[in-house]
Amino acid sequence: MTTLDDLPMFAAEAELIYLISRIGIPLHAAEQMELWELAAAGGLHRVETQSARDEREIVEKKQEYWGETVDKRAEIMARRKERKAERTRR
């Protein structure tokens, strides 16, 4: 460890090198890219995280499915209720 390790500039550079290696861009190619290009390649331009986006899309698809099947589910529940009522009458 050196006294330079605590400088934010080196921490930021280390994070950038980590990001570049994580997304698979060779360092010699990354040196030729602008910061915005590196950020876009790493997905840092997104407002939401990938997991938050995936979760949001799943919720939207489930809501759409539930909206499309509301009548069918109501029919199934009504039939179950009728069968249960018939069993209790016997």
Q: What is the pLDDT of residue 47?
A: 74
Asked if residues 23 and 39 have their Cβ atoms less than 8 Å apart, the reply is no
- Non-local CB neighbours of 25 within 8 Å, separated by 6+ positions: 33, 38, 41
Separation of alpha carbons 88 and 85, rounded Å = 5
**Assessment of whether the complete model's pTM goes beyond 0.75:** no
Parts of the chain with a pLDDT under 50: 1
